[in-house]
Amino acid sequence: MSRLQKQVVRVIREYDLFKANDRMILGISGGPDSVALLSLIFNINCLGAIYSEVTIAHLNHLLRGRESEDDEQFVRNLAKRFELPVIVERKDIKDAARRQKLSLEEVARKERYKFLENAALKVNANVIAVGHNADDNAETILHRIIRGTGILGVNGMRPKRRLAPFSKIELVRPLLFSWRKDIVTYLKEKQLSYRIDSTNFEKDKFRSKIRTELIPFLEKNYNFGIKKSLIKLGEITTQNYYFLKLQADTLSEKVFIKKNEEKDKVPGEVILDIHKLKNAPPILQQIIIREAIVRLGTPLREFGYENYKDILNLSKQKKTFINKGIKKYLDIKIEENKLYLSNKKYHLEEKPVLEEVVLKIPGETKLVKLKYVIKMEVREIRNGFLEKFKKNKTKYNEAIDFSKINMPLTVRSRIQGDRFWPLGSRGIKKVKDFFIDNKIPVMERNLVPIVTMNGQPIWIVGFRIDDRVRITKETKKILIMSFVALSMSIPVRLPSES
């Protein structure tokens, strides 16, 4: 058994990469790493069964014309040589990148893993093995450091992980602790040919420049063992991270508000207790938020440090209701000391959040969707009642001249073209412009209830009434409007008549 074979056997056993009854997909591109992986796995299994079945899988990216065609044929020939079944698929990555408005590298990676997962499902495989090596890992760590990363990013690649948060398929990397030079030596010893991807040497790709320019420069001028140092940094960081992860997991039991979710199924929403989250150290808060994102099946590589900070900063605000999108993958909502995270939309719906509802006057009207009730009360002005009301009112209480009201009054969300005359202003203004002037976030505008008369706003709840229904010296009766949460305490105090 060669030195490289012994090392791979040790890694398989140490990290429990697969077992004798596992069915495996080998992701084979035709490059040196994947060819070595195929040979090593095949030969090791001949010495003692380490898996049940193996299938080769190859995705033709159609990026390099004739070269891509030759790669595909090379992999088909490998499958014949090793007498293994092969699954081949073609995907126009350039077209997909153009449609998705993403880089070629990003789309190629995403489509490759999607293809490997589908191939695994097709043959009922529970393990996918790929040929990432130690050089790849060092380059990944350095790449993330340059681009900006946290403790988790410095970990680099791991030998084994779930393909996706709720997937039963494991992604394994048997060559992760093997250096590229040792892999090439092994191939020479075994007289195995391989393909070279010419795009690996293009200098206009950031990752390729790290491999072909930056690392050689660092090796020559600063530290010949820079790659080993990066791998060591990754290992130490991993140990630190998993210690913190254990602390965060214990705390998560208290922070996550349980719902009846199906096991091993991506939930549509996760809910966190903000008060308990804020009591945790900042690093554990970030790990808990990361866990929430993982549970939602959202791509972690799309979220950076600033995105985590945005979420945590929002959770510290004292507003009773916040609605915001974080990038294009995650929506968050804060209500009643709870942080809601979802991969569905809480906002920006085409139709209003609150359909038009007729208000009972006098009486109470429940707005079940918004979890509020609007109370309407008609009162006469006498014995200093109005002065006491003004002294104790909140932004959720308003009083208007009852004689200026035409029934019925309704409440709804904003609609296009809404206009009103804000109290104290010089004239009529679009509700949209009023929202802009008052710095109401776009994500929250559909959630602001509006009381209307004759189809036009007379109260933007929590902000302003219409000047034309204001109380004057001639007013005899007033309509008191109160907006009260069904399940939380907003201070609303209506003084009794003395």
Which residues are known binding-site members for ATP?
A: 29-34
> Of 101, 126, 128, 103, whose CA–CA distance to 115 is shortest?
128
Phi, psi of 125 (to 5 degrees): -85, 145
Asked if 394 contacts 489 with a C-beta cutoff of 8 angstroms, the reply is no
What amino acid occupies position 285? Q
276-to-231, 252, 273, 280, 314 alpha-carbon distances in Å? 36, 9, 6, 7, 15
322-to-325, 335, 336, 483 alpha-carbon distances in Å? 10, 7, 10, 17
Length of the chain, in residues: 498
Q: How far is CA 134 from the centre of its chain?
A: 29
Dihedral (CA of 298, 139, 228, 129) sign: positive
Q: Could you tell me which residues come within 8 angstroms of residue 331 by beta carbon, excluding any fewer than 6 positions away?
A: 323, 324, 325, 341, 342, 343, 344, 345, 346, 347
Asked if 87 contacts 55 with a C-beta cutoff of 8 angstroms, the reply is yes
> Of 177, 196, 171, 184, whose CA–CA distance to 36 is shortest?
184
Q: At what angle do helices 3-14 and 32-47 cross, to 10 degrees?
A: 80
**Annotated binding-site positions:** 29-34
β-sheet bridge partners, residue 411: 357, 451
What amino acid occupies position 377? E
CA distance 462 to 441: 14
Residue 291 structure tokens: 């866990």
Residue 386 structure tokens: 């109005």
